[in-house]
């Protein structure tokens, strides 16, 4: 292993599942001191055990502003200042416009939009010089997909936040970038309560419209996060790394 993150302190929100979990495992192999957060205590426990290398995990809901900062305090007292912050926790909610309730809208924007804003804002006092922040957006941020108004716009908001954060933090020697996955094989639709047939249908749709004709893997996403987290991307800020099998540009 190249140990591209040797001795670095990395925090990954939503690190107990899917893309975040694969990223946490790769970062630990690359020498980072990893902290994961999520909402489910049992999976945080099993995930930290599997990540190994002294990884720690905390229950923290990104939509609850008060639950974010205590995590950073514990990270600082355990490992020191944060070098890498992966702002990855997110949910999907797809529904015809007329069925979308205010409660659904608030839930998704509190996690995917407000949660991202305050996950970054509350981290500021705990970031190390030269820190790298990466936000998981989505390739669908630039697309129109029926039923996706709230999800797509929350992911587009993340891209806008990344550009604004990057502009504000460049003078503090902190880089901020987005990683935009295409269709990736994770439990995200299951967790949204979708039936197996609906999941098969959306996976078939994306496999058809993706030039590479397949979903991406969580390991492929983790490699992208490693690039953005490490000095390999030292001249990149305010940008968007699109890992989508050609979906958005071909």
Stretch that binds ligand NAD, among 33-41, 50-58, 224-232, 234-242 (CB under 6 A): 33-41
**Position 23 contacts ligand NAD (CB under 6 A):** no
User: H/E element holding 18?
Assistant: helix 18-29
Out of 4, 8, 29, 39, name the contact with ligand NAD by CB under 6 A: 39
Stretch that binds ligand NAD, among 49-57, 72-80, 82-90, 228-236 (CB under 6 A): 82-90
Out of 33, 183, 230, 233, name the contact with ligand NAD by CB under 6 A: 183
Fill in the per-residue mask, 108 to 127: x = in contact with ligand NAD (CB under 6 A), - = not in contact: ---x----------------
Strand order in the sheet with 9-13: 56-59, 33-38, 9-13, 82-87, 127-136, 175-181, 240-243
The sign of the dihedral angle between the CA atoms of 227, 232, 238, 244 is: negative
Q: How far is the CB of 113 from ligand NAD (least distance, A)?
A: 11
Out of 46, 81, 91, 156, name the contact with ligand NAD by CB under 6 A: 91
Cα 199 to Cα 195: distance, rounded to the nearest angstrom: 6
Q: Is 86 left (phi over 0), alpha (psi -120 to 50) or beta?
A: beta
Cα 180 to Cα 14: distance, rounded to the nearest angstrom: 16
Q: Which residues of this protein are in contact with ligand NAD, per CB under 6 A? A: 13-14, 16-20, 37-40, 61-63, 88-92, 111, 136, 138, 181, 183-184, 186-188, 191
């Amino acid at each position: 292993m190249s140990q591209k993150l040797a001795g670095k302190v990395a925090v990954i929100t939503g690190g107990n599942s899917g893309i975040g979990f694969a990223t946490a495992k790769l970062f630990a192999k690359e020498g980072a001191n990893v902290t994961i957060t999520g909402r489910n205590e049992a999976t945080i426990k099993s995930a930290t055990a599997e990540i190994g290398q002294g990884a720690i995990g905390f229950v923290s809901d990104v939509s609850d502003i008060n639950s974010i900062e205590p995590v950073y305090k514990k990270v600082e007292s355990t490992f020191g200042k944060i070098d890498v912050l992966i702002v990855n926790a997110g949910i999907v909610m797809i529904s015809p416009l007329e069925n979308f309730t205010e409660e659904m809208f608030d839930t998704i924007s509190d996690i995917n939009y407000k949660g991202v804003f305050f996950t970054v804002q509350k981290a500021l006092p705990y970031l190390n010089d030269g820190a790298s922040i990466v936000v998981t957006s989505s390739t669908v941020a630039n697309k129109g997909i029926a039923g996706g108004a709230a999800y797509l716009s929350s992911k587009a908001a993340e891209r806008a936040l990344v550009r604004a954060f990057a502009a504000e933090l460049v003078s503090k020697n902190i880089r901020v970038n987005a990683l935009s996955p295409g269709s990736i094989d994770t439990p995200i639709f299951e967790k949204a309560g979708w039936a197996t047939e609906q999941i098969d249908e959306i996976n078939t749709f994306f496999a058809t419209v993706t030039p590479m004709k397949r979903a991406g893997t969580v390991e492929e996403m983790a490699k992208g996060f490693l690039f953005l987290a490490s000095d390999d991307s030292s001249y990149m800020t305010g940008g968007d790394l699109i890992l989508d099998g050609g979906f958005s540009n071909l």
